[in-house]
Structure 1
């Protein structure tokens, strides 16, 4: 249940849906298994998996919904090999070279025939909707996947106006400043041991893990006009993470004390109670972490600095 990554979005003009109406809307876009000729499909599924049938869990204004994405894996090399064999066979039989358009048509036929036999990969993606703060966070490793889940939610609700969460101070500028000048670091900020430094020119990217970020070597790199595009940070006693220059929060690790608190909660061996207990504790920690992060970055960008997408 514990999220690993967060892509954060500000929700504008949030639709007023109670739990019952939202559950019904999600049911209209519930996941259905792939058909034999389908390459991919996306729909909502129970966050608790086989332990429950609810498509929505809501506690104290915190909503949890889960998308299931399935796609067939058909490597291009497999299609190419089969296509070449068929082209050779036809050209030998007919004693002529196939035209380009004929090859393209044959390629489509090969793809359609092989697709039903391809392996299927399934991936669940959790979405946290903080209705109190008008905030949406998607637990996905890439921005592209997060946007795909938002598109599904937009289709489910009929309309969804969101913008990527933005800060007054650009993350790259703030991270570079914190790294180069310890005196500028917020008092509750804990510097980690991982960094990615980008050069302004064409000198590429330098990545360092498990290093002392206050070392002379790192300072020399900063003096060489490099900027921090990723930086490991933490909130003592709560969580640690890697902040990216687009304000994505990745590689999240929750403090042992918080995880222990969740494990010691009395759930009566009920999987649904366990899920909701973990979710509530997690979102409390994440909401606090996001508020502090925005404070470190000078606050959230004011309305009008970003244009919502409908």
Structure 2
């Protein structure tokens, strides 16, 4: 269900809206495929898949929704060729040797409009989980930029639900210590934080124009060479870790989690699924249950979460990030 995770903090006074009202708001923004000349379309789809029509799934008090996005990507080279053809035709028809910027812009718009109907579409979907008890919003994305866009659309929908708090906000979780600083300390000291182990994959990058990079794959990291790279100025940008022998993942320098995977000790505890059960409820309950404990442990390993009133004015080593608010 989740292959990555970006964490957002929602307001303490947030409560889930009535299921019927939320479902109606999501249905009003349900996914529709791109039109012939539409470059992108996004909307909500059933988290259970095509066999369901429900857009807001509640499992054990948790809310799960899914956003689908369809794009018609156009190669830059195809647009350039089409524009150049129009420019040449314009020169021949008018006798002008120079073409103004305004006309070139019009040609580009015409080229895109004519090419879009022939472009293949690509779809992607992103799952979002709202934990109303611990006040977390988790997005299945290893990119904060991508997660921001999805969260903004969810907040827009929530703002349309009757009775919802105006100005509902969500902000990326900020910690006292940046993930890069924490990973550098763990690697240099060869000591993982409590409850975690360091695995065998890592990326170190020099924070300069050259961006010199060293990668270790399936290689022990308990060696002096790693500490020497850090002492020379290289910064950890990715580090494979395992939490309590239950969940493995890759932590990034932006404090996002990628390559999220439940381990056998968790999967073996799952009960056999019934014949008529699509497995969604069991998968959702297990995954959210694990993440609900992993997230606070990870934040503690990063020095703890910044006080909410202080995070807006100071990040103390963490990357500053904007709050997202519903209109």
What TM-score comes out, normalization by structure 2 length?
0.87
| Deviation sequence 1:115-139 (CA, Å, 0-9, x none) | 1221111111111111111100110
Matches within 5 A, 1:73-92: 73-92=73-92
Find the aligned partners of 1:225 and 1:99 in 2 and give their Cα distance.
50
The aligned residue for residue 106 of structure 1 is: 107
Q: 1:96 to 1:297 in 2, by over 3 A?
A: closer
Contact 2:7/2:256 (CA < 8 Å) preserved in 1?
A: yes
* Count of residues in correspondence between the two structures: 305
Task: Return structure 1 stretches of 4+ with deviation > 4 angstroms.
Answer: 200-203
Q: 1:192 to 1:206 in 2, by over 3 A?
A: same
The structural deviation recorded for 1:16 is 4.3
Find the aligned partners of 2:181 and 2:22 in 1 and give their Cα distance.
40
What TM-score comes out, normalization by structure 1 length?
0.91
Matches within 5 A, 1:248-287: 248-262=256-270, 264-271=271-278, 274-287=279-292
Find the aligned partners of 2:107 and 2:23 in 1 and give their Cα distance.
44
The aligned residue for residue 134 of structure 1 is: 135
Contact 2:148/2:324 (CA < 8 Å) preserved in 1?
A: no
| Deviation sequence 1:107-160 (CA, Å, 0-9, x none) | 211211221221111111111111111100110232221111111112111243
Gaps of 5+ in 1: none
Note the aligned Cα RMSD (angstroms): 1.9
Contact 2:143/2:256 (CA < 8 Å) preserved in 1?
A: no
The aligned residue for residue 293 of structure 1 is: 298
| Deviation sequence 1:200-255 (CA, Å, 0-9, x none) | 55552322222211112112212223332321111133111111122111111210
- Deviation larger for 63-72 or 136-145: 136-145
The structural deviation recorded for 1:170 is 2.0
Find the aligned partners of 1:225 and 1:193 in 2 and give their Cα distance.
21
Q: 1:225 to 1:74 in 2, by over 3 A?
A: closer
The aligned residue for residue 58 of structure 1 is: 58
Equivalent of 1:168 in 176, 179, 187: 176
The structural deviation recorded for 1:31 is 1.2
More helix by share: 1
Contact 1:87/1:98 (CA < 8 Å) preserved in 2?
A: no
Find the aligned partners of 2:309 and 2:206 in 1 and give their Cα distance.
31
SS at match of 1:157: helix
Find the aligned partners of 1:229 and 1:74 in 2 and give their Cα distance.
31
| Deviation sequence 1:10-43 (CA, Å, 0-9, x none) | 0014254122222122112111222222111111
The answer to whether residue 101 in structure 2 is matched with residue 93 in structure 1 is no
The aligned residue for residue 8 of structure 1 is: 7
Contact 1:57/1:64 (CA < 8 Å) preserved in 2?
A: yes
